[in-house]
Amino acid sequence: MNPQARIQELAQRLHHLNTQYYQHDVSEVPDQEFDQLLAELNALEKAHPEFAQPNSPTQRVGGTVTKQFAQATHRYPMLSLGNTYSEDDLREFDERVQKGLEGAPYGYVCEQKFDGVAMSLAYENGDLHQGVTRGDGTRGDVVTANVRTIRTLPLHLHGPDAPSEVEVRGEVFMPNSVFDDLNQEREQNGEALLANPRNAASGALKLQDSAAVAARRLRFYAYSVLTPGRHFGSHSESLEAAAAWGLPVSPTWRRCANLEEVLAYIHEWEQKRFTLPVNTDGIVIKVDNLRQQDQLGLTAKSPRWAIAYKYPTAAARTRLREIIYNVGRTGAVTPVALLDPVPLAGTTVKRASVHNANQIAMLDLRLGDMVFVEKGGEIIPKITGVDLAERPTEAVPVRFPTECPACATPLVRPEGEAHFRCPNERGCPPQLKARLEHYVSRKALNIDGLGAETVGRFFDLGLVKTPADLYDLAQRRPDLEGLERLGTKSIDNLLAGIEKSKTVAFERVLFGLGIRYVGEGGAQRLAQHYRTLAVIMAAPTAELAAVPDVGGITADSVALWSQQPENQEEVRRLAEAGVALEASGEPPLAVSDRLAGLTFVLSGVFENYSREQLQTLITSNGGKITGSISKKLSYLVAGDNMGPAKREKAVGFKVPIISENELLALLPVAE
């Protein structure tokens, strides 16, 4: 079979498998077979780029780097809806509809108001052509490469009845479970937590690297279909057609014959909505008949045929009994409020976040207070206020501890940070245990038979204290055999899992070491750039900071970690155990020594290459990258939006400032 035909065949097969898996929960082939088909397609597309399709299944994993997002004008303005919190307002809305339709019969469609990012998708001849954010309602950012990574979104519409031109509107969102995972990772890395899934989804869509967007596992629900001319008689028909074409449409929508059925739907979902995988904050009510929508028309800001009913923020009032303090992997001490159990947003709340010492002081919290707790757009309930009228006379002010609640070490508060931290990295039990749990976790070394509960038990028993201790357990089998609830087969599986972890890729080992601020992406970038842990540990801070998307804070953290004797000894033991501390495969080949003896700083956003690609071009031709500007610097390579301070410093040191094209001209062959 010729390459073009095979590429087309593979693309069609993979599109079908994706639809079955993500739309119908049907896995027709094993994951390994799917991966093999995708790998074959990817290889063929690289060998024959002239036959690659814009909407190829390979685009699901991203890889496109967008320097800046172009803007596009919406063919149909994306108007906002009028909001109400009152059933009386809904009755008035219904009366206006009735009057505007002059007594003709009409019905409504009710849909969940998903808390995500509004998106307009243009399909041409069945293919996804363009994705544009809402923007100001008239113009938005073109984020096509990013929306192509949304696996529930078809890159090609199914069915012969799909119009040649169709605009699909809907909501891009981050599922709550994905948001929880993301925040847990950020907490482990000592990064600020994201407020809610909507903000996380919005931030993901603005990322320049579509591969990073793919890692955020965004999803999409369609709620509107627009076509030139009249293609449907009703909104409900368009939703049914969209689902038939393969678009993800939430099954929660319902056609209602009258306002009473609308109100019944609203009441039904007031608590039921909390069972959904995405946050909702209300119900959208639309007149179903599209000709009647045209008849009712629009105001300057919103349609007269639709309105959004917003549920009040989920809130409760309960008694604050105690504040406990959790110590995380990075030593951050987080206060958690223990409350009298209270129903809230479909669950019984017994705990609430108080964030940090600043929040405690701002609220003037006292034990015994009646406090107001809200969920709103937040996943974790938080205390938002105190009912001072109910404050007991004996209420005791909450005082943030000055010592670690786990090891009694005096707490420190690094400049510019909101959290107090325990600096006892080597002796604080919760920190040590959390680092072990992180090392064996799924995204790190993923050691079979050694979950958080088991490794925590081993820690409590004194069997392990650091990751290197795990590799000594094979010699301590008699100690394991003496433990309750740990049979021979479990021990075999556990030790086999530990042995297998020695083959885990270097970037995951680097992530598993738990260096503060080094997340999955940072570990991958450092591993790709330096290829061995020894080289990373020896690298100067400025050089580390120059690695694309690493930055100064991470570089400082890596350098500090590398200098500590305890970490150096840990690395020695891991190497002795056979853990992969260097990247596999061949490093990038040296092209020339044309840039030997020259050092470069890259700053700004470049037109033709990413910073990482330019860095590879420099190093493969003998040059070096640094992060700081000094008299010894050979060149500052300036892209768009370069910081003025760097330019000023380079001018002061009389360092030549060159463009991307001027850098390429220094190479033996311009790439």
Tell me how far apart the alpha carbons of residues 317 and 337 are, in angstroms, rounded to a whole number: 13
Task: Work out whether the CA dihedral 54, 609, 68, 179 comes out positive or negative.
Answer: positive
Laid out side by side, the sheet with 219-226 consists of 127-133, 117-124, 165-173, 219-226
Backbone angles phi, psi at 95, to 5 degrees: -65, -40
Task: Work out whether the CA dihedral 181, 381, 196, 329 comes out positive or negative.
Answer: negative
C-alpha distances out from residue 219 to 60, 152, 181, 246, 561, Å: 12, 6, 15, 14, 37
Q: End-to-end CA distance of the chain, in Å? A: 33
Which is nearest to 452 in space by CA: 429, 436, 467, 468? 436
Kind plus residue range of the DSSP H or E element containing 556: helix 551-563
Active site residue 632: no
Collapse the DSSP code of 119 into the 3-class scheme (helix H, G, I; strand E, B; otherwise coil) and give the result: strand
Backbone angles phi, psi at 121, to 5 degrees: -120, 125
Match 């075999």 to its residue by tokens.
492
Tell me how far apart the alpha carbons of residues 489 and 491 are, in angstroms, rounded to a whole number: 5
C-alpha distances out from residue 346 to 271, 557, 652, Å: 5, 41, 62
Tell me how far apart the alpha carbons of residues 247 and 432 are, in angstroms, rounded to a whole number: 47
| Residue from 67, 99, 113, 646 carrying the catalytic annotation | 113
Task: Work out whether the CA dihedral 286, 289, 293, 295 comes out positive or negative.
Answer: negative
Provide the token pair at 321.
Answer: 């009994």
Tell me how far apart the alpha carbons of residues 490 and 483 are, in angstroms, rounded to a whole number: 11
SS3 readout for 9-24: HHHHHHHHHHHHHHHH
Cα 400 from chain centroid (whole Å)? 32
- Which residues make beta-bridge pairs with 635? 600
Question: Contact, 557 vs 518, CB < 8 A?
Answer: yes
Active site residues: 113
